[in-house]
Amino acid sequence: MFFNHRLKLEQLGLSSSEAQIYLAVLHQGSLAARAIASQTGIPRTAVYPTLSSLAEKGLIEGGLGHGSKFTAVAPEEALRGLISREEQTLSERQQIAKELTEALPASAPGAESALDDSVQVVRTPQLIGEKLHRLQLEATRLVEGIVKAPILMPRPWNPAQRKATEQGVHFKALYERAAIADPKVGPYLESWLAGGEEARVYEGELPYKLFVFDQEVVLSTLIRRGGHPAALLVRHAPFARSMSILFEVFWNQATPLTAPPAPARKVRSGTKGQSRTRVTLAAPPNNEAHNGASDR
């Protein structure tokens, strides 16, 4: 429980040392720096600057003289104040960003052509999701995707994909078998297929998680050391066409997925009151009939 509380405090913006010290003082009562170092295992030389930081954030009180004790501020008051300061900081940063947006030029002269063959690293799940959303809306003909676990931001339906599909963009999704079994994917497959997605499942491990847009742009997700995701965004038509060829190689070895006729049938599982949606594997594809990319 102590560990879970520490993780949640870190999610609120505290460092690991700050979270440990605040919880130690909160649970043990007033403590001197030496006792805090003993309780937490944090070196005494690091305890003092951490206590100073906690005091500035309104989570710790006391410690005016040498050897004095420190007391934790009650969580309700301390966390409310912490959030209030975070909101104030965010508001100030938003104002600075607005001023910079208005003051800075959109791009250097002639920079637009340089973006045609550029490579960009996208480092957070949120930014990756935003890039994927925008690229789907920019597509005019075809989106090819290789889907591997883990799924970054699962949801029953992708509004960008739906809008693009309505505008005639064809979506082809190649799922690794492990991704099909992922509970973040399986329950939503039927709705994706019903929305017009053409999908197949590959019995094996696929090399990359990637999307190819109109055979001109590639967004490929990678898992960095430590398990953190990142993505490469490549705007280079020859490279994108080569990735589309790679996609077709695995696509022609995969089995089509089809949704059951509407209304969707529910098949009772062994547990009373639970059900699962059925997605059907069609007959293996005729490679000659499925070669090449759709012209939609």
Give the β-pairing of 170-176 and 142-147. Answer: parallel
What are the extents of the domains in the chain?
Answer: 2-76, 118-290
Residue 277: pLDDT band (50, 70, 90) is very low
Q: Is 276 helix (H, G, I), strand (E, B) or coil?
A: strand
- As a whole number, mean pLDDT of residues 111-122 equals 63
Distance between CA 290 and CA 217 in Å, rounded? 22
Predicted local confidence at residue 279, as pLDDT: 58
Distance between CA 220 and CA 208 in Å, rounded? 7
Residues 6+ apart with CB under 8 A from 185: 147, 149, 151, 154, 175, 179
Residues 6+ apart with CB under 8 A from 74: none
Backbone φ/ψ region at 221: left (φ over 0), alpha (ψ -120 to 50), beta:
beta
Q: For the domain made up of 118-290, give the CATH fold.
A: Endonuclease; Chain A (3.30.870)
- As a whole number, mean pLDDT of residues 256-265 equals 62
Comparing CA positions, the residue from 188, 181, 175 lying closest to residue 148 is: 175
- As a whole number, mean pLDDT of residues 143-161 equals 75
Q: Is domain 2-76 classified as CATH 1.10.10.10?
A: yes
On the question of pLDDT at 154 being above 80, the answer is: no
Q: In CATH terms, are 2-76 and 118-290 the same topology?
A: no
- Percent of the chain at pLDDT above 90? 33
- As a whole number, mean pLDDT of residues 99-126 equals 70
Residue 291: pLDDT band (50, 70, 90) is very low
Give the β-pairing of 229-235 and 119-122. Answer: antiparallel
Predicted local confidence at residue 240, as pLDDT: 94
Predicted local confidence at residue 142, as pLDDT: 96
pLDDT digits (tens, 9 = 90+) for 69-89: 899 999 999 999 989 888 888
Predicted local confidence at residue 150, as pLDDT: 64
Predicted local confidence at residue 12, as pLDDT: 85
